[in-house]
Amino acid sequence: MFFLAFFVDDFVLANFIGPGDTATLASDIEANEMRFGIAVAGYLVILMLDAAIALALYVILKPANKKFASFTAILRSLYAAILVISVLALVFQFIDVYSYGTIKLIGYAFFTAHIFVLGYAVFTSGYILKALGILLIIAGFCYPVLFYGRSVIPEALLVIFVVPAAIAELFLGMWLLVKRNKLPEMKS
């Protein structure tokens, strides 16, 4: 999902630029229907997976702390819902690419909060590696720089913030796949 979102945002949607001009966006979409369709399909796949992950994280974290499990799932679901709205508004050309980007940044605030809460919930769970919780909390500090700092931080330096975020999510997913049968109350 991480790499698919990067591809869709930075290589596909970046080609549809018409600030404040939905008529230009409409002609860009018409001229590049396939590319735009790939971007929309890619994002909808990502957002469906985000919804599934929100539910899965709730189930995994519920035995440790139902409130944090719920909060984590709600924040991730809000992020996904906001992005679905922004993608659909872009598809139906209610907004331009810049407005889409602004709405997406609002969604990213919920995602960042989700990562912080998830990191804390993982850290305090007692059955998931504490190191993963620490990595997720570090990622929670990296994501705002990635989402909001692109205009002030050189692109080459952003890699410093991408790596911890990618590692945290990748290792959590791998750890959960390996330990899935040993998690509390997962069999019921």
Domain with 121 in it: 2-182
Residue 19, pLDDT score:
54
User: Cα separation of 130 and 178, whole Å?
Assistant: 16
Q: What is the mean pLDDT of each run of 10 residues along the chain (188 residues)?
A: 74 63 72 82 87 91 93 94 88 79 90 95 93 94 86 80 87 86 63
Structural domain includes residue 187: no
Q: Is the dihedral of CA 106, 109, 110, 111 positive or negative?
A: positive
Closest C-alpha to 120, from 57, 183, 55: 57
Query: Looking at the domain assignment, is residue 188 inside a domain?
Result: no
Q: How many domains does the chain have?
A: 1
The answer to whether position 65 is within a domain reads yes
DSSP structure class, residue 11: I
Tell me, yes or no, whether 30 lies in a domain.
Answer: yes
125 close to 61: Cβ distance less than 8 angstroms = yes
Residue 13 lies inside a defined structural domain of this protein: yes
